[in-house]
Amino acid sequence: MGIVAIAAIACGTDETVSVSSAPVDTQVPASSDASLTNPGGASAASLETIKNNLPLDFPINVYQGDDIVGGHAVNFSDIVAQGKPVLLNAWAGLCPPCRAEMPDLEAVSQEFKDHVILFGLDVGPFTGLGSEQDARDLIDAIGVTYPAGNTDNARVVSKYKILGMPSTFFITPDGNSIRSWTGALSEDKLRELVTELIAAS
C-alpha cells in the first residue's frame, strides 16, 4: 500500500463540478434490492445506477454508526442507496484541520440527521496522516457520533480527487457528486451547503 502526499488545508476551496464516474470496485456483497425507497416514499435510484454514478464504489469497515449505515461492513453505494443525500468527509486521525472541523460536522449532522447521512471516511493510512487507531482515538477525543470508518481501497484518494484534508463531497441519492470542498468547513458554511444539497436532491 503506497502513501499519497496530501496537504492538510485549513481554509477551503469549493468545486461545484461533478467528480467523474469510474468503474465500480466492490468487495462486500451488495444489497439484492435494486429499487429502494427513501423515507419520503419516492422511489430512489437503483443500486446499479448509484454504482455507475459514483466516482468509485468501495468497501467500508465501519468504526461507528453501524445502525445508520446498515452494518459493520458495507459498500459506500449501500449508504447512498438509503435514499438520502450523503456528505462524504475524507479525514485523518493526525490532521489538525480535520480535528478542528469535526465539532462543526457533528453539529450539522445532528441538525440534519433526518434528511442527510454524513459519513466520515478515514484515509489517514493512505496519506501518512495516521493509522486506524489514531482515527479511532480522535473520534473518541472529540466525541463525534456520526458514522465513520475506513476502506482498504487506496484508489478512493485518486478517484474522488482528494487533494487536501479534510475534503467533503456532496452526493445526491442517485450517486452524483454535485460539489466538493477541500479544506475545513465552518458550521455556517456546512449548513448552507447541506441545504443546497437537499434542494438539489
The predicted-structure confidence for 19-58, as pLDDT tens digits, reads as follows 333 333 333 334 333 333 344 333 468 999 999 999 999 9
CATH number of the domain within which 123 lies: 3.40.30.10
Average pLDDT of span 166-195 = 97
Average pLDDT over residues 134-151: 98
Q: Which residues contact 121 (CB under 8 A, 6 or more apart)?
A: 60, 88, 89, 90, 91, 148, 149, 150, 151, 156
Question: For 135-162, what is the mean pLDDT?
Answer: 98
Tell which residue, 168, 161, 174, has the closest CA to residue 193: 168
CA-based angle 25:27:30, to the nearest 5? 95
Does residue 77 lie in a domain region? Answer: yes
For 121, the 3-state DSSP assignment is strand
Q: Dmax over Cα atoms in the chain, in whole Å?
A: 44
Whether residue 152 is contained in a domain is answered as yes
Asked, for residue 2, whether it belongs to a domain, the answer is: no
Rounded to two decimals, the pTM is 0.82
- Residue 174, domain member (yes or no): yes
What does pLDDT average to over the chain?
85
Query: 155 lies in a domain?
Result: yes
> What is the extent of the structural domain holding 177?
52-200
Q: How many domains does the chain have?
A: 1
| Of 5-9, 16-20, 54-58, highest mean pLDDT | 54-58
- pLDDT tens per residue, range 85-116: 999 999 999 999 999 999 999 999 999 999 99
